[in-house]
Chain A
Amino acid sequence: MIEIDGRQIPWHEGMTVAALLEEIEDAHHYAVVRLNGRLISRPNFEKTPVPDSAEVILIPMVAGG
């Protein structure tokens, strides 16, 4: 299982951040996630594996400065 924003989701072999977000409603709002404390941005979603027992936080980033 992995935890995403406090919810439990089943983990499977070969899961990537992109694959994980396909299971989330309104995932297009999230251009950045924090995976086990590391920031992962959308350009890297497909190539970033999600390990079992991972903690994922969706970051609703809209602005800065």
Chain B
Amino acid sequence: MTQLRAKEIKTFSYTRPTITNGYANQTLSVDLSGPDITIKPVSQNMKELFVGGKGFDLWLLWNAVTPVTKWNDPENAICIASGPMGGTPGYPGSGKSIVTTISPTTGSVMDSNVGGYFGPYLKFSGFDALEVTGQGAEGTVIFIDGVRQEIKLLQVDGLPEDSYALSQVLTDFFAEGKKQDISVVSTGPGAKHTLIGCLNFTWYDMKRKRARYKQAGRGGIGSVFAHKGIRAIVARWDSVTVDTNNPADKKAVTTVAKVYSKEIRELDPKENEMARVGTTHLVPIMNDFDLLPTHNFRYGQHPGANNIGRDVYQHLFDPGFDGCWRGCTVACSHGVKDFVPMTGPYKGQTVFVDGPEYETIAGCGSNIGVFDPFTILEMNFYCDAYGLDTISVGTGIAFVMECFELGLITTSHTGGMDLSFGNRLNALELVHQMAAGKGFGAIVGQGIRRMKELFEKEYGADSALLQDIGMESKGLEFSEYMTKESLAQQGGYGIALKGPQHDEAWLIFLDMVHNYMPTFEQKAEALHWFPMFRTWFGLCGLCKLPWNDIVPEDNKETPEPAKVMKHVQWYAEYFSAVTGRKVTPDDLVLMSEAVYNFQRVFSLRLGYGRREHDTLPYRAMGPVTMEEYESRQERYDKQLTEKYGVDIAGKETPEKVAILRKFREQQYEELKDAVYERRGWSKDGIPTLETIKRLGIDFPEVLEVLKANGMS
């Protein structure tokens, strides 16, 4: 192995503060251009308004950038934070970090949450959040050593290119014999050569004796990281107990943690078995309900889906504890050992694959017509190693495959590659090309929005068709759910702050399968409450999965089973016990609402965040082609006649497609009206002055943005 040569650029010593009620009460700022390292205080007002996690990230980012900052400007910041409850061992899902930046694909604020040890280690080292600005030299490594109370900026030569090897090498390099004390944030060559790069956050697996990783995947944050010249950010911390967060009421924390953990241990084996199969159970279920995206979201079902779901991966996953944070009883971060890739730089070697999860299976499997579990594993492995977001890669390849089959692009554009759906070797080749920044893969790596422009301008492709089938909104590729028959999920994707990612509103099952929200008003209410409550997890350093993927046995007897209010109450108790700030479930939604609206105003400040940006490609709403319509003709004919009162006698498919489209586009616009009104926004999707004041975020900078956008 190549010897690492680390040159110290700057060393900064500090005195680690005592963590109090889950807060370090200061943040760390690293300006790579100076280089400068500074510490900023966290005020009481900042905690009350922004809580922590994404709230702190957004506030730091807001102050770092200007209205004209682009993703690749030095002042763009990458902000990483945990949250007040982050790092509590034993309370399920308490190890999350959240990352924000100005995205290269959307041009606006991006956030992405991720497991692994980094966020808690950062906080215990003395910092509630980290912001990195400026431009570093190639090979920059930031080392936050909470044990020695030192920050080091290093320039390291001899590092491996890919994140898979890099994570192991840097864990070894900094560990001083205790590898579980290290967490590495890194990316790979794919992030450098595309705009859809992800970040890998490690956690150390004591049983398998290796660094494992989870991904902050969405919106090209890894590409910003690579552009800044950063190879890695490493945090070092040692032992963690409930006392490390110094909670206001330790007894209450341990009591509620014990009850919650016990429930998960008892119920998960009876319910989704996430501790055994992760999220792979969703594959056959989504397929049965016609919700699993296949062939670029044309259809929701495929006979091959059984080959790529729980029944297969439960046998491939390496058994053992797979919690990405200490003591998490959901423990869903499964992986496959002794996998041997058939392509690329690791061809023929034995590797460990972290995953796959549902999104990767659907994105790099069914949506590109691949129903081979081993190809999906290889796509998963290389996307992670290269630092590529599996969702944007999958949805992007699905788009070019459909373009290829429709003749919008040909082998003359793809470098001779046949990109028909299901061509697994060429899908893998595209991933390798993305990492190298060469060939047609380099174009796919620019994301769907840029591809649409290129295909129209350079290749003469039909612009309207590209808009209909290019599955992006706000510049972000869709995550992997079919929304055609769920108006609420259309809103969940289209009105989401950062773009179509399900972490804000996963309403598809509640809407389509359970029919919990049949009216517009109920959908609008759901598109208020759920995004707000789901936002709250990102403020606190928590994972959402324990909340509603494991459901209490008596939940169905509660007035609102969709909200799983017993767990919401436990979260209120947990927050109160750690921070000492007594809250009710309603307070949790209110504190999220302030941050949520602040992020909407932030988008507005950058030139986005209006009604015109909350748009969807038509495929997200209904059938674009005759084939799609005719594949579910009975469903669509019935809707036209019974729901819309259309006489379809004598009408051919193209006419029916057009009529249905008119109705569905209209109902999406009506949904936007209802949601905006419920959220206290104008018809143009801008928070009103009254809303801003009610939420306490009416400080001068915010008012200035609203005034500049006609809201005064």
Binding site for B on A (CB under 8 A): 5, 26, 29, 31-32, 38-39, 41-44, 57, 59-65
Contact = CB atoms under 8 A, between A and B. Distances in A.
A60 B555 contact: yes
A60 to B, nearest CB: 4
A64 B545 CA distance: 7
Interface in B352-379: 358-359
21 contacts: A5-B270, A29-B556, A31-B289, A31-B509, A39-B310, A41-B284, A41-B288, A43-B289, A59-B271, A59-B272, A60-B553, A60-B556, A60-B561, A62-B510, A62-B561, A62-B562, A63-B548, A64-B358, A64-B509, A65-B506, A65-B544
B285 A65 contact: no
B174 to A, nearest CB: 33
Given A31-B513, A39-B281, A64 B506 contact: yes
Nearest to A59: B271
Interface of B: 270-272, 279, 281-282, 284-285, 288-290, 310-311, 358-359, 479, 502-503, 506, 509-510, 513-514, 544, 548-549, 551, 553, 555-557, 561-562, 564
Contacts of B288: 41-44
A29 B561 contact: yes
Given A63-B548, A64-B358, A64-B506, A42 B561 contact: no
A63 B197 CA distance: 28
Contacts of A32: 285
Query: Which residue of A5, A31, A60, A63 has the most chain B CB atoms within 10 A of its CB atom?
Result: A63
B514 A62 contact: yes
Leading 10 A-B pairs by shortest Cβ distance: A41-B288, A63-B548, A29-B556, A60-B551, A65-B502, A65-B506, A31-B513, A43-B288, A41-B285, A59-B271
Query: Which residue of B270, B311, B359 has the most chain A CB atoms within 10 A of its CB atom?
Result: B270
A41 B510 contact: no
Contacts of B561: 29, 60, 62
B285 A63 contact: no
A42 B290 CA distance: 12
B531 to A, nearest CB: 13
Contact of A61 (B285, B359, B502): B285
A64 B274 CA distance: 11
B358 A60 contact: no
Given A44-B288, A59-B271, A59-B272, A64 B564 contact: no
A61 B550 CA distance: 8
Contact of B549 (A29, A31, A42, A63): A63
Nearest to A32: B285
Contacts of B271: 57, 59-61
A41 B502 contact: no
A64 B270 CA distance: 16
Contacts of A38: 311
A62 B551 contact: yes
A65 B513 CA distance: 16
Given A39-B284, A60-B561, 8 more contacts: A43-B288, A59-B270, A61-B509, A62-B548, A62-B564, A65-B358, A65-B506, A65-B544
Contacts of B281: 39
A42 B513 CA distance: 9
Query: Which residue of A44, A57, A61 has the most chain B CB atoms within 10 A of its CB atom?
Result: A61
Query: Which residue of A42, A61, A64 has the most chain B CB atoms within 10 A of its CB atom?
Result: A64
Contacts of A61: 271-272, 285, 509, 551
Contacts of B279: 64-65
B669 to A, nearest CB: 26
Contacts of A31: 289, 509, 513-514
A61 to B, nearest CB: 7
A64 B289 contact: no
B635 to A, nearest CB: 13
Query: Which residue of A5, A42, A44, A59 has the most chain B CB atoms within 10 A of its CB atom?
Result: A59
A64 to B, nearest CB: 5
A63 B510 contact: yes
Nearest to B562: A62
Contacts of A43: 288-290
A16 B11 CA distance: 69
B500 to A, nearest CB: 12
Contacts of B311: 38
Contacts of A57: 270-271
Nearest to A26: B556
A46 to B, nearest CB: 13
Nearest to A29: B556
Contacts of B310: 39
A32 B561 CA distance: 16
A5 B266 CA distance: 13
A62 B290 CA distance: 17
Nearest to A60: B551
Contacts of A63: 506, 509-510, 548-549, 562
A39 B280 CA distance: 12
A17 to B, nearest CB: 12
A61 B557 CA distance: 14
Contacts of B509: 31, 61-64
Contacts of B549: 63-64
Contacts of A64: 279, 282, 358, 506, 509, 549
A60 B438 CA distance: 47
Nearest to B555: A60
A4 to B, nearest CB: 12
A31 B516 CA distance: 13
A43 B285 CA distance: 10
Contacts of B562: 62-63
Contacts of A65: 279, 358-359, 479, 502-503, 506, 544
A35 to B, nearest CB: 13
Nearest to B503: A65
Nearest to B281: A39
A41 B289 contact: yes
A61 B561 CA distance: 10
Nearest to A28: B514
Nearest to B544: A65
Contacts of A62: 509-510, 514, 548, 551, 555, 561-562, 564
A44 B285 CA distance: 10
A65 B551 CA distance: 14
